[in-house]
Amino acid sequence: MFRQGRWLVCLALVLSGSLLSGCQASSEAIPGPSAPVENGTLVPFVRPLPLVAMTTPMVVEFDLPSPEESASPTLFLGIRVSGEDGLKSLNAGREIRNLGLPTEVTLERLEAQQRIPVPLVRVESVAGTPARIEPIGPAGRVAGGWLDDVDHRSLQSAGLEAPGSHHTQLALAWAQELQPGRYRLSIQILKPDDRLASTQAELLVAYVNKSK
């Protein structure tokens, strides 16, 4: 009887251990809460953009609202540089323009699981002749940019431009007459001049300032 009772106790312990292990295994198999999903980016916005060769493009998906009264319906895709004063920021922008910045920039509209290419244009300006707008090819290849102005009121409202700060904008491309919605921007700097490596620059996406 003693041996039989001892055997029954051992069997009960084994069974209880198996049940406990099964419960633990079941609890470990339950996945935890998923990571929060980023809601996206709203125009205007900036991103750090070192002026060095990129092995892969920077891709940003963003939401485009309607332009404010102070803005034109043209979307600026380009670079912003800063300086201690207006002259220093302007000189930094001019240096980028003069040295050139070979880049590929493309824009797509996101609709119902589709990516629809958006035509981009650039401004060509030659001394002594009126500036003209030229289309950018499907690959989005540009040799550099031009000095431009954006809607500063929307930048200030978004907390992206402090009063008294000094910035210069260099456009790489324009997108004209866009409808509000969701878009996907891809930008890749190809072979910049080594002298630009130390320049502190940002990717800037904003509406162009309305001409007065």
Q: Is the dihedral of CA 17, 20, 24, 26 positive or negative?
A: positive
CB atoms within 10 A of CB 147: 16
pLDDT value of residue 126: 77
pLDDT in tens, 114-172: 999 999 999 998 777 888 999 999 999 999 999 999 999 999 999 999 988 999 999 99
pLDDT value of residue 129: 81
**pTM tops 0.95, yes or no:** no
**Read out DSSP for 100-124?**
---EEEEEEEEETTEEEE---EEEE
CATH 2.60.120, applies to 41-209: yes
pLDDT value of residue 39: 38
SS3 content of the chain, % helix, strand, coil (to 5): 25, 35, 40
